[in-house]
Amino acid sequence: MLTQRITQDIMKELHKPHFSRPKEQWDPNIPIIYFEETHTDGKEYDVPLVILRTNPCKWFVEGGCVMCNYELLASHTKKITEQSILNQVDYAIAELAPLHELQYLVITSGGSFMDDYEVPHNVRIQIAEKLNKAGLKSLSFESEAKFLLNENKLKEFKDAFKGQISVGIGLESKNDFIRNIMLNKSLTRSLFERTAKKLSNLNYKYYSYVLYGKPFLTELEDIEDTVSTIMYSYRHGVSMSVIEVVNIQPFTLTHYLWERGDYKTASLWGPIEVLRRLPLEIARGISIKNIEADDIEEKPLDFAKTCSECNDIIIRRIREWNYTRNINIINELLNFPCNCYIKWKKTELSKRSTLTIEERTSKVYFKIMNELGI
């Protein structure tokens, strides 16, 4: 029987090369800053993302999610002090000044901003105070749900920052098997729901990250799971959802399978089809991300794509969607001259498997365990 312990053991083995990489060359006093297109308050907006260099995500060290390696941006050899984190914040404030002119910014770590191991609580409060003093009106950060249950910490952070706060939570799938056994997320629905209720009671906004391009699923299964997960998120009070399309990160399970021809990145038509299947009022709250390289030093090895004729145009149109949320942009893509969408729909959406999702996952995981000598 496949258990999450097996998934964790596989991920620990696959992560070993990550921790034997050469020493980092970056300055621990300078964060990563880049911009993403979005739509807020009825306007196009390039939101600044400040990724703090911190200790690595604990869950990554213990196994981690099968597709994620944002820990390429965290420390594995350099010592990160509390002062270096605060220096990073000061650097970001100076780079992005004046902050009172920003609609909002995202400031987070490579794992969970609310995990004291990555960002100590006293440092987190000082960050809130610094951003508040700089005039920032609204901020967002990301965190695993389990670090959002301490009411006192949430209250203290909110007391230190007077503006609106929004929290991104990686839900990925509403299906327990897909989320925890297949993706190794370590999050129960009851925990997500308790966290959502607590955040709501404390007047925090919150949103969900939903994965597309999940291994072992057909495209139709992936589309249906993504749609149902977004709808589930909205039933539990999220303000928006982000479709995170899987790209290939080194030292991950998806990378291992991709190298061996056992996994291919999804078609960009998949997340587009998700938007088409959602109620319009919900679709307008959805961003599609991870479809091209961000302006950071660690670039993914591969991305979701369509055919060579239309791929670049589709990426531009998805970017336009993120900016405008105009559904006509999506609908117009379906009549693209290369007939790419029609071909994809006819071939990929008709694929079925004689095995259940659980059987498919188990078959591959036990094969990998044998290959890795686990």
DSSP states of 76-132? SSS---HHHHHHHHHHHHHHH--GGG-S-EEEE-SS-TT-TTTS-HHHHHHHHHHHH
Predicted confidence at residue 297, as pLDDT, reads: 61
Contact yes or no for 199/167 (Cβ under 8 A):
yes
CATH of the domain at 140: 3.20.20
Q: Containing domain of residue 136, as a range?
A: 4-372
pLDDT of 76 over the 90 cut: no
Cα 116 to Cα 15, 61, 121, 215: the distances in Å are: 23, 15, 6, 32
pLDDT of 1 over the 90 cut: no
Predicted confidence at residue 295, as pLDDT, reads: 66
Per the structure, how many domains does the chain have? 1
Predicted confidence at residue 72, as pLDDT, reads: 87
Average pLDDT over residues 243-266: 96
Sign of the torsion formed by the C-alpha atoms of 311, 314, 316 and 318: negative
Compute the distance between CA of residue 236 and CA of residue 79 in angstroms, rounded to an integer.
39
DSSP states of 298-324? S--S---B--TTTHHHHHHHHHHHHHH
Average pLDDT over residues 306-327: 95
Contact yes or no for 199/335 (Cβ under 8 A):
no
Predicted confidence at residue 75, as pLDDT, reads: 87
Predicted confidence at residue 99, as pLDDT, reads: 98
Q: What is the pTM of this model?
A: 0.96
Compute the distance between CA of residue 260 and CA of residue 263 in angstroms, rounded to an integer.
8
- Tokens in use for 88? 């990073």
Contact partners, residue 339, CB within 8 Å, separation at least 6: none
Structure confidence at residue 298 as a pLDDT band (50, 70, 90): confident
Average pLDDT of the chain is: 95
Contact partners, residue 165, CB within 8 Å, separation at least 6: 138, 139, 140, 141, 157, 158, 204, 205
pLDDT in tens, 321-353: 999 999 999 999 888 778 899 999 999 999 999
